[in-house]
A = this chain, B = another copy of it.
């Protein structure tokens, strides 16, 4: 089937995309440039991953308004990126309803492209505690997409990582020979990943628990 794959170029979305490739689906990759701090690194990762898998159909969607809304350390550079493991509650790196916006735009692209599914690399438990990564949210979006598109449009929302732990993601990526060296997860914009932000913390923990070594460069690990 034809699948629209939301691909930031991070570890999780790359594995979600790889699973579609493994299943033999035709992938259309969608990348959102929401003026986040690390967009140039993410975009580089997005194209490298698409090149690796031979994905020619790529949508690069600029969403400048996220900067106008701000209210997150990822889109407002006056707010610092916190260091260390995620704590309780919703962290300051949460971007208001980001996955709602991403999934809505992906649904519009999927409807135009007559795709049958949308895949997102959202992870619920073992993550930063973002409300828009919860399965209950994804279920509700599935219903909204069904109700708000044409009768002949039948889109299934796939979130194959939603209940995985980070070490399971790393292990599954290894099994599928996912090119982890091409991916970028860090929340800071720098040549090597910082190794200290929430996202680096979760990624490194996953590799450690899986007994594997992350191939990307870190300033500190």
Q: Mark A residues whose CB is within 8 Å of B.
A: 59, 61-65, 68-71, 90, 94-101, 103-105, 107-109, 111-112, 131-132, 134, 136-137, 139-141, 143-151
Contacts and interface: CB of A to CB of B under 8 A. Distances in A.
Contact of A71 (B112, B132, B146): B112
A43 to B, nearest CB: 15
Counting from the closest, the 4 A-B pairs by CB-CB distance are A137-B147, A140-B144, A137-B148, A132-B148
A182 to B, nearest CB: 25
A178 to B, nearest CB: 27
**How many copies, total?**
2
Contact of A145 (B61, B100, B136, B146): B100
Contact of A65 (B68, B96, B105): B105
B59 A68 contact: yes
Contacts of A64: 62
B137 A111 contact: no
Contacts of A59: 68
B143 A147 contact: no
Chain A contact surface mostly: helix
Contact of A131 (B62, B68, B131, B147): B147
Contacts of A107: 96-97, 100
B96 A111 contact: yes
Contact of A101 (B99, B108, B136): B108
Nearest to A66: B108
Contacts of A134: 147-148
A136 B140 contact: no
A96 B150 CA distance: 8
B69 A97 contact: no
B150 A90 contact: yes
A96 B136 CA distance: 24
